[in-house]
Copies of this chain bind each other. A is one copy, B any other.
Amino acid sequence: MSLSIGRLAKAADVKVPTIRFYEEIGLLPRAARTASDRRVYDQPAVQRLAFIRHARQLGFSVEAIRSLLDLSDQPDRPCEEANVLAAAQLSAVENKIAQLEVLRGELRRMVDAACHGRVSACRVIEVLSDHAHCEGHGSTPTNGGA
């Protein structure tokens, strides 16, 4: 039973252009094509894509996923490497959380002290201007939203 790229996208909950992108960078093998050049997929492709999607949600980089996929394609090899990748990812996530908790503290102090007057007396601006208010926080910024 074969699937179009759109159906694969729905089956694995990934957007269509993302699938093409994964093919381009070699995370997915080149898809077979119909006579009219449309991509055709089978059931294992859904598995593979779901694997990728899940790993991305867990924060694994594309390069890490590439290794993981290589590994899972060769079931007879020892799985040290997979364990190492998972452990590295865990510690990266733990670091990130620790960093964000520091930021959260600082932002909370800012927000709690929110002024209701003019900018000249604004705590938010003041805290941002004066780095002395905080201990050094980690390196990588967050890009939350705001």
Contacts and interface: CB of A to CB of B under 8 A. Distances in A.
Interface of A: 47, 50-51, 53-61, 64, 68, 71-72, 74-79, 82-83, 85-90, 92-97, 100-101, 103-104, 106-108, 110-111, 114-122, 124-125, 128-129, 131, 134, 137, 141-146
Given A79-B119, A145-B92, A146-B88, A100 B100 contact: yes
Q: Is the interface of A mostly helix, strand, loop or mixed?
A: helix
Nearest to A80: B116
Contacts of A76: 118-120
6 contacts: A55-B128, A64-B146, A71-B122, A89-B107, A93-B103, A95-B144
Given A90-B104, A117-B79, A128-B51, A61 B143 contact: yes
A125 B93 contact: no
A146 B89 contact: yes
B79 A124 contact: yes
Q: How many copies does the complex hold?
A: 2
Given A58-B137, A61-B146, 15 more contacts: A47-B129, A59-B144, A60-B146, A64-B146, A72-B119, A72-B129, A76-B119, A79-B114, A79-B122, A82-B119, A86-B107, A90-B104, A93-B103, A96-B142, A96-B144
Given A97-B101, A128-B68, A119 B78 contact: yes
